[in-house]
Amino acid sequence: MTTYAYYPGCSLDGTSKEYDASSRLVCQTLGLQLQEVADWNCCGGSSAHMVNPWLGLALSARNLRQIEGMGLDRVTVPCSACYGRLREAEHALKDETTCRRMTEEVGIKVEGKVTVEHLLDTLSQPAWQEKARPLVKKPLTGLKVACYYGCLITRPREIVAFDDVENPQRMDDLMRLVGAEAVPWPFKTECCGAVMMTGRTDIVLERGRKLLAMARQVGADAIVAACPLCQANLDMREGEIKGRYGDDFNMPVYYFTELMGIAFGHAPKELLLDKHMVDALPLLKSKGLV
């Protein structure tokens, strides 16, 4: 059995428990063993690295050191913000001067042996796709989804090395693998407003409305996300969008792992689908999937 270190981060440990539960369940079904990073700490995103980049780097460097202490050389990260911070730390600490300064000033010595992957990146690898195909018990036939990657997974290009910065395909491929139709749409990597949800809700509502409207325009039944903040900014704000603009989208926003879990035959209760603000079950019931 292949073993990865697993970094849940603050969101999956709190407001996005359904992402955590579905991620663990899908990996277990595939035979991918996850070992939660021992005594992990916040990755530093977004406040720490914006106010003090060195502190932000040190927070992620400590997590990488913890993983090395577990004797593992790969970590998979479901949260896009956490992935970005850990991946940037992995990249930055390849520089000997930065690595030496981290050791001398902060007391954190990282050997540089850990590769950071987004969970989407991990599960889209050919070996895991091959294992996934025979596990599909309930193909998501008739379900049209708009795959929403957000702005963090593919950028900066020189650090994350995702498949395509403007038109990524990995989530689309996974959705097709489990039987859904991934509809083409132009907002795959648009920003949802991110942390402006706290200080400029108006911007988040405006961007959310545009994303939901475009998904509806291209014929999607639902949006599929791979980032807790993106999912929250859309799912949690649909009521406010309706109140401000009058648009009643009532469009579920799933995590890609939730839909994989449904296709693998897991019950909605196991996947914590009842945690969504926009009821995630009626659409699946209408397609005969639950």
The neighbour count for residue 244, using CB atoms within 10 Å, is 14
The pLDDT of residue 226:
97
Report the alpha-carbon distance of residue 119 to residue 104 in Å, rounded.
32
SS3 readout for 130-163: HHHHHHCCCCCCCCEEEEECCCCCCCCHHHHCCC
The residue whose two tokens read 């530093």 is: 44
Domains of the chain: 2-120 (1.20.1050.140), 136-286 (3.40.50.11810)
Confidence (pLDDT) at 102 = 95
Containing H/E element for 75? strand 74-77
What distance in Å separates the CA atoms of residue 233 and residue 210, rounded to the nearest whole number?
A: 12
Give pLDDT, residue 261. 98
Could you tell me the mean pLDDT of each successive run of 10 residues in the chain, 290 residues long?
Answer: 95 95 98 98 81 91 97 97 95 95 93 96 97 98 97 88 87 98 97 81 94 98 96 95 96 98 98 97 97
Phi, psi of 115 (to 5 degrees): -100, 130
How far is Cα 95 from Cα 79, in angstroms, rounded to an integer? 25
CA distances from 273 to 30, 61, 163, 167 (A): 20, 34, 29, 28
The helix-helix angle for 53-69 and 80-92 (nearest 10°) equals 90
What pLDDT does residue 214 have? 98
Across the strands, what pairs with 117? 76
Cβ-Cβ contacts under 8 Å for 69 (sequence gap 6 or more): 38
The pTM of the full predicted model, rounded to 2 decimals, is 0.96
pLDDT, position 137: 98
pLDDT at 138: 97
Q: Nearest CA to 263 among 171, 168, 129, 137? A: 137
Token reading at 241: 């969008």
**Amino acid found at 252:** P
CB-based contact 289:222 (threshold 8 Å): no
